[in-house]
Amino acid sequence: MMPPIVRLLAKRLGTSLIVLVGVSMLIFAIARIIPGDPARIALGPNATAEQITMLRERLHLDDSIAVQYGYFVRDLLRGDLGISLYTNRPVTADIAQFLPATLELIVVAGLMMILIGLPLGIISARYRGSWADNLIRLLTLLGVSAPSFVWAVILMLLFAFFLPLFPIAGRITDSYTIEPVTGFLFIDTLLAGNLSAFADAAWHIVLPAFALALSGIGQAARLTRSNMVETYDKPYIEMAQSYGFPEGKIAWRFAFRPSLIPSLTIIGLDFAAMLGNAFLVEAVFAWPGLSRYGVAVILRKDLNAIVGTVLIISAMFLIVNIVVDLLIAFINPRIRYSQRAT
């Protein structure tokens, strides 16, 4: 590996770690200043005062916020996020069980975003001003103009209710019993060698992933288009054209490749935004993922679980951004060798 890349990676990781500590403090502070007694909520409607006092002690709820944060960091370093009051299990176990479903959804949505969004953007730029360009621009703008829950509901209404092409909820049909090895159904069904279960899981993910991807598709297409259009105005394209290079080659080699970098940045951001939007889509499609868990614990004021979930999501957000940065650095030597301070 080239040392500058390693240096860049080290720097990014360092900054991200500082940011992550900040995130943990922010979330922790928000979670602890709320009105309401988590111990009482945990013990349920018929708990006695003694039981509540005992649980408060066990959860260190009577200590100062700084001390509580200290306990939290100590436990966190041991990989212990506490017990979820909602499921009565360790938060880490909950996250481990529910995260794969969300990741699977986001990865598929991300692929849709790239595989549909970029080509649309390229076509739009290549045939700038044509009816195809205008149509794509209109459609992609529509895509970003509604929250993913509206798309989820509309897609569900059209393709699950009125035209029952797709299942309306869940990850897989009940009749398949798949041993959870990784928690990723796409991998587990293959490990089990069960192709029809794989197809069934794929069939289940189409609508939710598309609903989640729609605004990303729009963003990616719009951005690719505007960047390529800008590049098209550069003199070297005109030169290439006058040299008689084929249009397709010009589009790909000279117009698209340089515009990939800004598109990648936005795709990274959109990918991360999906972590948030998954909250909405999972609610509509009864997708048993981390976001649905997140909503459930937020509504129940389950502190450990809220802090754990938000922390994990933020960590993933940061990781995605680092990966995108590295990718860009890899593609663009100028950035690879001269990183700015921030």
Name which of residues 90 to 129 contact another protein (CB under 8 A): 97-98
Stretch that binds another protein, among 66-74, 121-129, 253-261, 308-316 (CB under 8 A): 308-316
- Among 1, 66, 77, 299, the residue binding another protein under the rule CB under 8 A is 299
34 phi, psi to nearest 5 deg: -75, 155
Distance CA 133, CA 110 (A): 23
CB of 55 to another protein, least distance (A): 12
Name the packing angle between helices 118-126 and 131-144 (round to 10°).
Answer: 140
Burial of 77 (0-12, 13-18, 19+ CB in 10 A): exposed
Considering only 34-42, 68-76, 119-127, 247-255, which stretch makes contact with another protein by CB under 8 A? 34-42
Total interface residues for another protein by CB under 8 A? 86
Q: Binders of another protein among 263-282, rule CB under 8 A?
A: 272-273, 275-277, 279-280
Contact between 240 and another protein by CB under 8 A: the answer reads: no
Shortest distance, position 89 Cβ to another protein, whole Å: 7
CA distance 173 to 153: 21
Check binding of 72 to another protein (CB under 8 A).
no
Nearer Cβ to another protein (66/163): 163
Distance of alpha carbon 311 from alpha carbon 20, whole angstroms? 8
The alpha carbons of the chain give a radius of gyration, in whole angstroms, of 24
Among positions 162-191, residues that touch another protein (CB under 8 A) are 162, 164, 168-170, 174-175
CB atoms within 10 A of CB 219: 22
Among residues 2, 67, 157, 191, which is the contact residue for another protein, using CB under 8 A? Answer: 157
Contact between 306 and another protein per CB under 8 A:
yes
Report the site for another protein in 309-328 (rule: CB under 8 A).
Answer: 310, 313-314, 317-318, 321
Q: Is 298 in the site for another protein (CB under 8 A)?
A: yes
* Residues in 41-70 at the binding interface with another protein, rule: CB under 8 A: 41, 43-48, 51
Which neighbouring-strand residues pair with 83?
90
Where does this chain touch another protein (CB under 8 A) — which range of 108-116, 123-131, 136-144, 235-243?
136-144
Question: How would you class 22 by CB atoms within 10 Å of its CB: exposed for 0-12, middle for 13-18, buried for 19 or more?
Answer: exposed
CB 216, CB 271: distance < 8 Å? yes
339 Cβ neighbours under 8 A, 6+ residues apart: 4, 8, 11, 329
Closest CA to 329 of 319, 339, 320: 339
Contact with another protein (CB under 8 A): which of 264, 301, 324, 325? 301
* Span near another protein by CB under 8 A; candidates 38-46, 112-120, 245-253, 331-339: 38-46
By C-beta, is 86 or 256 nearer to another protein? 86
Place of tokens 């990939």: 260
| Closer residue to another protein (CB): 2 or 17 | 17
Taking residue 230's Cβ as centre, other Cβ atoms within 10 Å add up to 14
Encoded tokens for 78: 């041991």
Site for another protein contains 34 (CB under 8 A): yes
Token pair listed for 244: 């008689």
Work out how close the CB of 342 gets to another protein at its nearest, in angstroms, rounded to a whole number.
6
Residues between 5 and 24 that touch another protein (CB under 8 A): 15-16, 18-20, 22-23
